[in-house]
Amino acid sequence: MRVLVVVMLVICVCGVVDAGNLKARATDAADMKLWYEQPAKHWQGQPLPLGNGRMGCMIFGGVEKERIQFNVDSLWTGDENLVGKKPGVSHNVSYLAEGMGFYQNFGNVYISLDGHGGAARYRRQLDLSRAVHTVSYTKEGVRFTRETFCSYPAKVIMMRLEANAPGRYSGTIALEDAHEAQTVARGARLTAKGALENGLEYESQLHVVNDGGKVTSKDGTFTFKSCNALILVLAADTSYVMDHTKGWMGEHPHKRVAARIDAASAKNYGELLKNHVADHQSLFNRLELDVGETGPAQAALPTDKRIKARGNGVNDPDLTEMLFQYGRYLLIASSRPGALPANLQGVWNDSNRPAWHCDYHSNINVQMNYWLAEPANLPECHIPLFDLWTATVPLWRKATHMHFGDVPGFTFQTVNNIFGGCGWRWNLPGSAWHAQHFWEHYAFTQDKKYLRETAYPFMKQVCHFWVDRLKELPDGGLVVPKGWSPEHGPREDGVSYDQQIIWDLFQNTIEATKALGVDSAFRDRISELHKRLVGPRIGKWGQLQEWMEDRDNPKDNHRHTSHLFAIYPGRQISPARTPEFAQAAAVSLRARGETGDARRSWTWPWRCAIWARLGDGDTARHMIDGLIKYNLLPNMIATHPPMQLDGSFGITAGICEMLVQSHAGRIDLLPALPAAWPSGKVTGMCARGGFEVDIAWDKGKLTSVRLRSKAGGKVTLHCGDKTREVVVPADEDLVVNPDVF
């Protein structure tokens, strides 16, 4: 069992004070803008994303031709993917294309504007702090502005086109359905509806409100003449319901879509915008980060040029802050309660056959999407993941039975859709990795009701799968039989990836039973298995072994770092408690190379977080730089062609780990601060135990520490080589004297 070697000094180092002691935050909202001097031409990497969890859109910002490509998270082909499956057969990729289906493009809105060509002073920007996209330009002395947002409260996308002179808008508006449904115009509304081959029904509606001038329609297109301003309201939805007993489908979305448009178009635009910004900021403003100041020349560059300059080595801490906040922005935009979880591309996709189905990939990608949710203070954005996985359990159980016979609990295959379908290779500990997310939400929020009703039942069922499945070795050790280190090596017993994730599952489940005061006999059983699990091993070149047999090749630079799960996102290995294993993990990770066999969106963040957990801030920062240099598109989204959001979300989580850690039974402050960030601050970072942490530092040393917690409680703080125990009162800020560290 792990031994916690810390000196607990309970001394009076703290006081409760009013808010306001920390210096004003340096992360200026004005810096949180992505901006460009030209419209987007191509979907990949250029347009800018808006979203409300369920709907998303990419805005191109063209002057004469605007394009808004939009999505709804539930527009998927495919099905439960179990029909016709033979027991024992793991389906191949060609079957997948049929049953798994693909996340779909919903459609496009095109706006053509007469006489706007040749405009000057063009700028398009996405303000992350308000979640508002703006296009502006000047033509013949007239300033034109086009503002767009995607509202969570109103469930619509709104665009307002304005000018500082009357009658300047003439042109057309078209709504294009990506499945060739016909667009019909009635009054001020365009409608396109259809059904996919799996029976899923969908509908989009676009409503236009004109100020002055005239709007007419012909052949499903609006023509407007001499308008002063225009407001467009777009809504779309499908008949999807997250319930397999209903065949995943319910009512036609027509009424819902029409009601949303009616409600939004009856309201004042300014009020809708205000509600939207307030809603967004209620999440976005919880956390601020400052890791230094960017010089004025670099700060004045448009975002695409700034990313390039950073790649060429120009210092730009504000860009790192923006990258950090972009991860939070994108999660708010693609994963809100009531929505489906963020898929490989979040919610944005312009293709009907996107790469990897735009699925939920369970051997790193979907988990990485959610690593930031808790530490970066967006716990409610984690909820869609729990909702879909909970709804999918009956299907996973069915698939498990078909493959493994009448066994308890469940597991699944690597690739997952929204209908409970899974395919490609069996990812045996994948369900246990998901269980970690259920647990982490509790660990951070301390929400016992959620633990009792949602998390623990999931964790327990996953445990049931493993209780009888573990195989006993002659020495009594227990191994996962026939496992696989993701996308690497053969199927065999005792693979480190499997062992470490099952260790994590049992550890968290034991803690869950204690927190809830339930199932003591079950806990004893799991504890006994937990102790006997074959643990990490150090191999002949000092590496942490990927397999039970000591055969790792020091020249192997595979991109996956599955055997380092125990360091991050797991907690079996840490420099404080298991220094030899931590050392071996560093040897393995160094050998694996800075990014592995392919530069992928997600390889940088995983390595960043692992180096942070190993206490190497400089190498962790090198991973942020690598992502910026090699895998960031001009719109700052991480790429693995065409794009993969895991890298964007993951890097935020990696940065969190550099500044505050809380996995080892204490809160570590500045555990992996790179030399390049000598002074800075973070406010509103979350730690396990229900704490929020604000810290500031200068010349690498803490200058201010403030904690708060709803429930209050005792917590151990650690920084450098010093440990302090403090008691945080409920609902009050506790200021800790930084000089004690």
> Which spans of this chain sit near ligand FUC (rule: CB under 6 A)?
344, 356, 361, 363, 365, 487, 600, 640, 644
560 or 724: CB nearest ligand FUC: 560
67 or 640: CB nearest ligand FUC: 640
Minimum CB–partner distance for residue 561 and ligand FUC (Å): 11
149 or 602: CB nearest ligand FUC: 602
125 or 365: CB nearest ligand FUC: 365
In this structure, the number of other CB atoms found within 10 A of the CB of residue 704 comes to 18
562 or 709: CB nearest ligand FUC: 562
334 or 363: CB nearest ligand FUC: 363
Minimum CB–partner distance for residue 356 and ligand FUC (Å): 4
Token representation of residue 637: 């989204």
Minimum CB–partner distance for residue 95 and ligand FUC (Å): 17
Query: Nearest-CA neighbor of 373 among 513, 508, 564, 569?
Result: 569
Strand pairing category for 660-661 and 667-669: antiparallel
* Coil, helix or strand at residue 253: coil
Minimum CB–partner distance for residue 499 and ligand FUC (Å): 20
Minimum CB–partner distance for residue 376 and ligand FUC (Å): 22
Per the CB < 8 A criterion, the answer to whether 407 and 398 are in contact is no
What CA–CA distance (Å, rounded) separates 32 from 195? 40
217 or 343: CB nearest ligand FUC: 343
Token representation of residue 554: 């020091």
400 or 561: CB nearest ligand FUC: 561
Minimum CB–partner distance for residue 382 and ligand FUC (Å): 21
Minimum CB–partner distance for residue 344 and ligand FUC (Å): 6
Q: How far apart are the first and last CA of the chain?
A: 29
35 or 630: CB nearest ligand FUC: 630
Q: What angle do CA 577, 578, 584 make, to 5 degrees?
A: 150
Minimum CB–partner distance for residue 559 and ligand FUC (Å): 6
What CA–CA distance (Å, rounded) separates 103 from 683? 37
**Helices 456-467 and 496-516 sit at what angle, rounded to 10 degrees?**
130
Minimum CB–partner distance for residue 189 and ligand FUC (Å): 39
Residue 452 DSSP label: I
Q: Which residue has the tokens 């499956």?
A: 85
Per the CB < 8 A criterion, the answer to whether 441 and 447 are in contact is yes
Strand pairing category for 713-719 and 667-669: parallel
Question: 28 CB contacts (<8 Å, ≥6 apart)?
Answer: none
183 or 365: CB nearest ligand FUC: 365
Per the CB < 8 A criterion, the answer to whether 519 and 525 are in contact is no
Minimum CB–partner distance for residue 64 and ligand FUC (Å): 37
Minimum CB–partner distance for residue 361 and ligand FUC (Å): 4
Judge if the upstream peptide bond of residue 87 is cis by omega within 30 degrees of 0: no
Judge if the upstream peptide bond of residue 47 is cis by omega within 30 degrees of 0: no
Q: Which residues in 89-120 are b (16+ Cβ under 10 Å) and which e?
A: eebeeebbeebbbbbbbbbbbbbbbeebeebe
363 or 723: CB nearest ligand FUC: 363
Per the CB < 8 A criterion, the answer to whether 43 and 642 are in contact is yes
Minimum CB–partner distance for residue 158 and ligand FUC (Å): 33
Per the CB < 8 A criterion, the answer to whether 76 and 101 are in contact is yes
Q: Which amino acid is at 318?
A: D
Minimum CB–partner distance for residue 265 and ligand FUC (Å): 40
Query: Nearest-CA neighbor of 172 among 132, 212, 227, 134?
Result: 227
224 or 606: CB nearest ligand FUC: 606
Token representation of residue 580: 């030899």
What CA–CA distance (Å, rounded) separates 166 from 185? 26
Per the CB < 8 A criterion, the answer to whether 451 and 520 are in contact is no
361 or 621: CB nearest ligand FUC: 361
Minimum CB–partner distance for residue 609 and ligand FUC (Å): 16
Per the CB < 8 A criterion, the answer to whether 211 and 228 are in contact is yes
379 or 423: CB nearest ligand FUC: 423
Token representation of residue 599: 């530069």
Sheet with strand 713-719: strands edge to edge: 660-661, 667-669, 713-719, 722-728
Q: Which amino acid is at 49?
A: P
What CA–CA distance (Å, rounded) separates 430 from 723? 36
